[in-house]
Structure 1
C-alpha cells in the first residue's frame, strides 16, 4: 500500500477511534512502529492536529474540531461511481480495476450522508441499492464498539450475510476495530460460529452492547490474523464451500486443510467446510478424489466447472 493510502487510513482510524496506540496502528497497517512514527511526523508537518497522550493508557488523538470534509456527492453521482467500479474490470481490459475499487471505497467512507451499500450488480444487470448498514450511523457504531472493547462487554448484532442474503443475529466479543481498503471492520470472536470472524460495519443493521463480560485472549495477535485473512480485504481470494457426507466427516474434521478453514456440523451428520483460496483448479481435483461424498456448494463457477467435467467423464464411460 502507498504512503498516501497509509496516511489517510491513520487519519481515519485516529479520528474515529478517538485514541489509538502506535502498536495498534502498526498492526492495522502491517508496518513497524518506527514507520508509524514517521507517518505521524509527516501528518504533523502537514498541519494535521494530531497529538500524543503520555502514560499507560496513552496514544495518539486528533483535535475534535478537525474533520475530513465529505465528498458531498449526490446519490446518483455515487451510484455512477459504484457502477463504474463493477463494470470496469480486468476482464474488460481495464488494468486499474483494484485501484478504482479502492478509490471508490475511500470516497464512500467519507460520504457519510450516503445510504448506498457496495453491493454487486444483480442478475438483471441493474445496480441495486440497500441501506443495510447506512453510513449515516457509522460514528455511532464505532463509538459503541470502542466502548464495548474498553469495558469488555460483548455485542449483539444483526448482521447481513451476503452468501445467505439475510440478517443473522450474532453475539460477538470485539477484539479490534480496523480500517482496511476504504471500509471499517470489527474483528472478534463470534459465538455462533465458535471462531474469530471479521464483520464489515456497513453490513451491521443493529448493534447493542450486552451485559455479558469477556476477556480478549492474550494469545490473539491481530497481525497474525490479518496475515492469514488478508484476502478477505483485498478481494484476491475466493471463498470455497464444500459439503461432505457423514461417511467421511470425521476424516475431514481431523485435518487442517487450510489456514482459515471453518467447519459447520449439520444435524444429519454431514459437515460444511469453507475456506479461502487464490485458485480453485486444485480444489476441483481435490474434491473429485472424494467422489459422491463431496459436493461443491460455492463458488457457482467452480460448481458448474465440476458439472461439465463430470458430464465429460460420463460420456467416456
Structure 2
C-alpha cells in the first residue's frame, strides 16, 4: 500500500511540479503527517525531492529529474485502453494519434497486461451519443480544437434560437455531452466579457485569428461545466408543479426525467400519506410539455397545481378514455 502511495507522489510531482502536502494528502486520502513521512522515504531512497517554504510553497522534484517508472496495474491497463474513444478523437483530428499512442503503450506492456488489454477491447465498447439522436458532426470541430490547444482567438458566426450573432471568443475548452460537442469560451466584446457555452454544430462560420490570448490560470473546465449544466437544466424547467406521487412513480422519475427532476422531487417530498403517496414539487418547462411528460406516469401521479395543468391533464385523460371506450 505504501509503495503505491510513494509511486503516486513521485508521478504527481513529476507531472504537476509544485504540490503542497495538503493537496497530496487529499489525493491519497491520508493525513498530512503521513505525506511528510512518505516524502522523507522518497528522499532516503535517492529521489531528489525538496520543500519550498512559505505560503506558496510545497514539494517539487529537482529540475531535470525524470523517472522512467511506467508500471501499470491490471485495472490501470484496462482503463487506459477503454478511455480512448476513437470516434470523438477522430472528430478532434486526433484519431491516428490516439491509435498510435495506444499501440506504443501496448507494445511496452508485459505480455500478461497486453493480453488483458486485448480482452478488455473485445468485451467493452463505449458509445457516447444518447438514444433516439445522432451525434453532432461539425466540419469546424478540428479547427476549434486546434485553437483551444494554441490559445488562439476565434471569430464565430453563431446560430441561436433567437437569431444569429457574430462574436470574438477566447476558446477555453471543448466538452462532449451525449454525442454533442460544446465550446466553452470567453467573449471579448467591449460590452461583455464573460464565459459562455456554444453548441459547436450551430457555428455557421469560423475564423481563427492571429491573436493569442492569455488563459486565466484559475479557470477550471470541469467545475464550470458542472455548474453551467445544472443552471441550464434549471432554466429549462422554471415552473414548479405540485404533485402526489406513488412509490412506483418515484422509482422511475430519475430514469424518465433525469437527475435534476428526481433530486427536486426527493428534496421536496413530504411524509407518506395513508395511501402511500407523497406530496412533492415537480419542475416543468411549460404546461404543454408537462402534459405529455406526466401522462407517462399514468395513474401513479396526481397533479395538484397549477390548476391549468391539472385541467389539461384531466382533459387529456378523458380524451384518451373516450378513444378506447
Which structure's relative contact order is higher, taking Cα pairs within 8 Å and 6+ residues apart?
A: 1
TM-score relative to the length of structure 1: 0.38
Scaled by the length of structure 2, the TM-score of the pair is 0.37
Greater C-alpha radius of gyration: 2
